[in-house]
Each structure stands twice: as structure tokens, then as C-alpha cells.
Amino acid sequence: MTDSGIPAHTNRLTYETSPYLLQHAHNPVDWYPWGEEGLTIAQAADKPIFLSIGYSACHWCHVMERESFENEQTAALMNDHFINIKVDREERPDLDAIYMEAVQAMTGSGGWPMSVFLTPTGQPFYGGTYYPPQPRYGMPSFPQILLAVSEAYKSRRDDIENQAQRLTQAIGRSGSLSTGGTELGTEILSEATDKLLQYFDEQYGGFGDQPKFPQPMTIEFAMSQYRRSRAPDVLRIAEHTLQQMAAGGIYDQIGGGFHRYSVDRIWLAPHFEKMLYDNSQLLRAYLHAWQISGRTQYHRIVEETVDYVLREMTAPEGGFYSTQDADSEGEEGKFFVWTADEIRMILGEEDADLLGRTYGVTAMGNFEGKTILHVTRAAADVAQQTKLPVDTVEERLAAARRQLFIAREKRVKPGRDEKILSEWNGLMIHALAEVGVVLGRQDALEAAKKSAAFILAEMSQDNGFLFRSYKDGRARLNAYLEDYAALIRGLIALYESTFELRWLGEAIRLTKVMQSQFEDEQRGGFYQTGIAHEQLVVRRKDFIDNAIPSGNSMAAESLLRLAKLTGNDDYRHQAARIFQLMAAAMAQQPTGFGRMLTALDDFLAPSQEVAIVGSLDDPRTQALLQEARRHYLPHTVLALKEPDSENPLPLLEGRTLVDGQPAAYVCENYACQLPVTETDAFGQLLASA
């Protein structure tokens, strides 16, 4: 620190809004944000670029900062030999995708922190992820890497530039894929389902070994295939996984919401950060599982996760925050874990014993001497052991969880990344709009509406384009395909939840922007970056559904929904071209295309549109709406017309009350059934689809 109290080191990141970049603003490294200044200086000085990409909730990003970026000697090496650029992957998914593909091509794997060495023109030639300060884990030290790369750049310049050129060409191939007129049929779905059954962990749920990621999009695809085939083994993929996660440490048993992933196969020990995008998608997965099965466990998980989002992740002005860190007070998971003594002091002996039996509390613990709460016994089993009624056990456990929550609120909370991202907000708007009307959570629906209104007011540019990110009163960075596609889908969900035409109108307007800025009219599909975006080393198309749905998957889904609601078949043709680009890959790699496969299922399934005529304040209209929402109907669109009102949707044209009563019109495959006014008859029509 200087005498004035200002940190001795201040670099250019101090002018940024990203919490992740600001965390590095006082490193001795002479960091630049990505932009013209750093790239121009690299070219003028003929120095290679060291590009470091991470995010604020990333545990190993913090570790590498402490070990290397705060180290004066390491920082001196970086400053002497490189132009150093720091990027928040959540603000710049375009850069993250380009250079992650490069690192995966070079090393066979990837992750964050991502460490990539570039030519002064931005072409990658060497890279990896975390590097330790001293040689360990079979890896060279970061200083060794810095010196070796710098020496190679000086002594083998031609080799490096040739390698960078070849690698850049390789990672740009996604932008030149063509459809080739591929036929789209249900055999793609069948083959993908067969593969999914092979990957499924029969014992613990999920897919593969460890670490275990939730993969809500793959779960959604499994549920959609159960609806198509009624095959119980496909439903088991979804239900067993959802039940195991809900019982595991990956779910916050005290405060609700899901952590990022489990480091083990059994869902016990999570990586403790919580991400908005995970919780938005898992909300919908558990909601849909409840619609299919009626299990109260799923209903509880949805309610608790909504409570978490509204309590912890909602900005007062509207919009949802991005992430919560894994660490608090410098320790990973400290906020979330317990000792047996702590629990006994808070609950007393009897309730501590009851909770310990249920949630696996032991004196030794299961995580560095402490306990991650996870369900080890069902309430019925605990009731049998303790000779108590099941209802009593459940009531006492619920009261005990509330007491632990109150006690936990007094701890130092993990850091929170309070930037608001258009894409992630679109995902949460979609989830809360659905949950709000299905479960009668008006607070969830209002939060979704407030977020949508905030983005449209505060994150829209004068030309009607969107910004990607908002923080501290500043909206910045051109939005990407995934921002448009996710927000469009969220706005459509808001229309189907409220029937306010403004949301559908905004969805259609933004779709026009998406088409004009991102569509590849020649080859099909959409680029990740728009025409107005800065020119990068490649212009990619993103199709892989990883932790977040790809922009093309969400675009296809939104286009199909708009086609049904508006009657404009051009939307459907655009979606088909996306599927044609990825038809073979989808069938072979279902866990990488969960959202796109579900959208393809919608494309191939018989179309169903439901139009309801009636006043929203009429209880009979509400009864019809609630009947529609009680069912799992992933391919059905819902529209409503107030009596004697004008409505521009072709789906509602000519629809009237029946004998003065609210009525439901169900159309399938372009043929409409007779309208019904009774909820039972309406339910039978929906169930027979």
C-alpha cells in the first residue's frame, strides 16, 4: 500500500466492471482487458500475448492468482516477455469458445483458468489451464512455461507462426459447415436415446464417472423421449438422476439451489460455487419431472430453489446476478459445511440426532473433518428407527433445517458476482415464468417480468441491439447469439404465462435482429458473433450444449415456438437448417446436444396448439389454464384471447366463447378438435396427444 492507502499496483483492469477483472486490478501483472489497446501494443512491440481466461466463482482461478499473478517475480517475467490480457469468460463467451477449442486441440482437455499464448495478431500457438508456481502434479512451473514459450517465440518464430496458422484454420471449421440436405427423422432421436442408455450410471444416476455434472438438458431430452415412447427405462434416466442429485451434497439441503458439479461419482462433494444458469435449467427439469410423476420431492426442490434465487440472486432493480463463489474467508465450501458439535449446539441432542441420522452427520465428517449434508436415509426409515410417526419426523426435520439456515446466515457469505448477463437472465426468465404459473408462485412470475423489463430498458442499445453485460449502472459489450436466443425464449415463455402481447412482440422484434445479424443464409445456422461485432481470428458457430445451451439450440427452439404461435413457417425452415448441420453428431453424442435433441423432437413431433378464450379474471378460464399447465406438454403452445378483443395471432382467429362460457380449442397437426368448456374433457384431449 502507498501512504495514501491506494494499492501500490494498479493496472488497466481497474476501469472494468467485471468483478473477475476487478479482482486482478491490483496484481503486479500489467494486465490489459481484451481490446484494441493491448493488441496494438503487442503488434508494435512484436511481443507474444499471454491470455488468461477465467471467472469470478472459479476456485483454481483464485489459486493461480494467489500463487502467480500476485507474485512479484512471476509478474516481472510476464511483464518483460509478454503483453498480458485478462478476460472474464462470462462477459466474452466468443473469446472463451475460440481459445478453449484451441487448448482442447493442443492438449486434449480444457478448463479454467485457461492460459493461452497468442501471436501478436491473436492466433493461438500454445496453451493449457492451471500452472503451479513450482513443478508438481507432473507439470512444469508457470515461470518455466513463461521462459520456454518466450525463448521458442524468439528462436523458432517461423515454426510457431505456422503452427498458429494451422490451429486457427482448424478451429474456424464450424463456421463453414453446410447442411447438405440431410434428412431429419426420428431415427436420430432413437439412436441418441440408445447411446444415452449406454452412458447412464445405473447406480448413482447421471452420465459417466467423476466429476459429475448435472446435465439438465440431457435429462430434459430423456423426459421428452419418455413422452414419445412411454419407455420406462428412458424415464428412469431422468428420475434416478434427479433423485440422486436432490439427495446429494450437490444440492444445498439448507438453503436450496444447486452447486456447480460434484467432484465424485455419488453427488456428495460439490464444487461449491452456484451458477445462475445451472439453477435455471434444473428448475425446469424438476418442474417437468413433477408434472410427469407428481412426486412431492420434485415440487419441494423447485420451491426451495425458487426461494434461493429470489433471496440470493435477484437484483433490486431487476435482473438476476450471475454466480456465487465456492470460497468464503479463503476456504472452499466453508459457508456450507458443518461439524457435529455445531449442529448439536444449535438443535439440541434429540433433533441433532434426528438430523444426523437423515443427513449423514458424523464426528469425523465427510469433507476435511466437517460434514456436507446429504440425505442418507429416507424420513420413513428414520421414523422406523426412532419409533416416531413419519409426519413428526418430517416436521422436525423441516424445523431443524430452518434453524440451521438461520444460524448459517450469520456466517460470512461467499462472494457474489453481481453482473447481469442477458443470456443467463433469459434462461431464468424462462424458468420462473413456467414455475410461476404452474405452481402458482406469483413472486416468481413477477421476478421474471421485472428481469425482462430491466433488460429491455437498461440493456438495449439505441439501435435496438442488446448488450451482453450490466454492472454498476453500465451496460456494455455487444450481445452474442446466445443472448438473443435465450432472451427470446424467455420472452415467449412470459407471453405464454401472462398473455401480455408486449412480450411476444419483443420476442419477434429481437428475432429479426438475430436473423439479420447472426444468420448464415448460405449454409444455415447462426454465427455466435454478429455482423457488427469486432473481427476475431475466426467466426465460429456454436452447436454444443455444454453447461449452457448453445446459441443455435436455443435459436432453433425459439424459432419453432414462434412458428406455432404466429403461423409463420419461415421460422420452422430456419430451425430445420440448424438440425441438418448437426444431424449425425446429435445421434452419436447425445450428452453434447441435449437441448438441440429436445428441439429436434419438437420439430418432428405432431404439432399441438391450444387456444383459450375467456377473461383472465374468470375462475372458469383459470381452471382451464391450470389444467393445461398441470400436464407435461413440451411441444404445446398456449395462447389466450379475451372475449370481444382483437388479437393478431392467427391461432386465435375466429375463436369465441361457447354458450357464453370460456372455452379451450385444441389443434393437432393442423386439425382442430371441437372446443370444450369442462376441465375434465380438456384434460382428456391434452392427455391423448
Quick check: 589 pLDDT over 80?
yes
Closest-CA residue to 66 (of 100, 23, 102): 23
397/466 same-domain check: no
Q: Count other Cβ atoms within 10 Å, centred on residue 673.
A: 14
Number of domains, the chain: 4
User: Which residue type is seen at 571?
Assistant: Y
pLDDT tens-digit series, residues 120-177: 999 999 999 999 999 987 889 999 999 999 999 999 999 999 999 999 988 878 777 7
pLDDT tens-digit series, residues 356-370: 999 999 999 999 999
Contact 415, 274 (CB under 8 A): no
Examine residue 7 and state whether it is found in any structural domain, yes or no.
no
| Burial (CB count <10 Å: 0-12, 13-18, 19+), residue 597 | buried
Closest-CA residue to 30 (of 66, 74, 67, 63): 74
Q: Which residues pair with 637 in a beta bridge?
A: 609
Examine residue 136 and state whether it is found in any structural domain, yes or no.
yes
CATH number at residue 664: 3.40.30
pLDDT for 46: 95
* Residue in the block written with cell 463453414: 176
Helix axes 276-293, 232-247, angle to 10 degrees: 130
Taking the C-alpha atoms of residue 192 and residue 221, their distance in angstroms, rounded to an integer, is: 10
287/394 same-domain check: no
448/363 same-domain check: no
364/215 same-domain check: no
Closest-CA residue to 117 (of 155, 162, 84): 84
Q: What are phi and psi of 612, to 5 degrees?
A: -120, 135
Quick check: 257 pLDDT over 80?
yes
Quick check: 581 pLDDT over 70?
yes
pLDDT for 181: 61
Taking the C-alpha atoms of residue 378 and residue 382, their distance in angstroms, rounded to an integer, is: 6
401/462 same-domain check: no
pLDDT tens-digit series, residues 30-73: 999 999 999 999 999 999 999 999 998 888 899 999 999 999 99
243/204 same-domain check: yes
Examine residue 382 and state whether it is found in any structural domain, yes or no.
yes
Quick check: 395 pLDDT over 60?
yes
> Of 118, 144, 171, which one is at a domain's C-terminal end?
171
Q: What are phi and psi of 128, to 5 degrees?
A: -170, -150
Model confidence band, residue 386 (pLDDT cutoffs 50, 70, 90): very high
* Mean pLDDT of the region 540-559: 96
pLDDT for 402: 97
pLDDT tens-digit series, residues 530-543: 999 999 999 999 99
405/464 same-domain check: no
Sheet holding 663-668, edge to edge: 636-641, 608-613, 663-668, 671-672
DSSP tag of 215? -
635/663 same-domain check: yes
CATH number at residue 303: 1.50.10.10
Examine residue 422 and state whether it is found in any structural domain, yes or no.
yes
Model confidence band, residue 4 (pLDDT cutoffs 50, 70, 90): very low
Model confidence band, residue 3 (pLDDT cutoffs 50, 70, 90): very low
Quick check: 8 pLDDT over 70?
no
Domain that holds residue 21: 12-171
pLDDT tens-digit series, residues 263-296: 999 999 999 999 999 999 999 999 999 999 999 9
Phi-psi region at 387: left, alpha or beta (left = phi > 0; alpha = psi -120 to 50):
left
300/215 same-domain check: yes
104/215 same-domain check: no
Give helix then strand counts, H and E, for the chain: 25, 19
> Of 604, 628, 655, which one is at a domain's C-terminal end?
604
pLDDT for 5: 43
Examine residue 235 and state whether it is found in any structural domain, yes or no.
yes
Taking the C-alpha atoms of residue 156 and residue 45, their distance in angstroms, rounded to an integer, is: 18
Alpha carbons within 13 angstroms on the beta-carbon side of residue 309 total 37
Examine residue 178 and state whether it is found in any structural domain, yes or no.
no
pTM listed for this prediction: 0.94
Examine residue 214 and state whether it is found in any structural domain, yes or no.
yes
Closest-CA residue to 260 (of 445, 27, 55): 55
Examine residue 181 and state whether it is found in any structural domain, yes or no.
no
Q: Count other Cβ atoms within 10 Å, centred on residue 581.
A: 23
Task: Name the average pLDDT for the chain.
Answer: 94
pLDDT for 673: 87
397/422 same-domain check: no
pLDDT for 109: 85
320/241 same-domain check: yes
Q: Which residues pair with 476 in a beta bridge?
A: 469
As a residue count, the chain comes to: 689
DSSP tag of 374? -
Cα 42–Cα 45–Cα 46 angle in degrees, nearest 5: 75
Q: Which residues pair with 519 in a beta bridge?
A: 526
> Of 395, 410, 425, which one is at a domain's C-terminal end?
410
How many percent of the chain have pLDDT more than 90?
89
Q: What are phi and psi of 670, to 5 degrees?
A: 70, 15
Q: Tell me the three cell numbers of residue 271.
A: 464444487
H/E element, 638: strand 636-641
CATH number at residue 51: 3.40.30.10
DSSP tag of 613? E
Taking the C-alpha atoms of residue 40 and residue 34, their distance in angstroms, rounded to an integer, is: 11
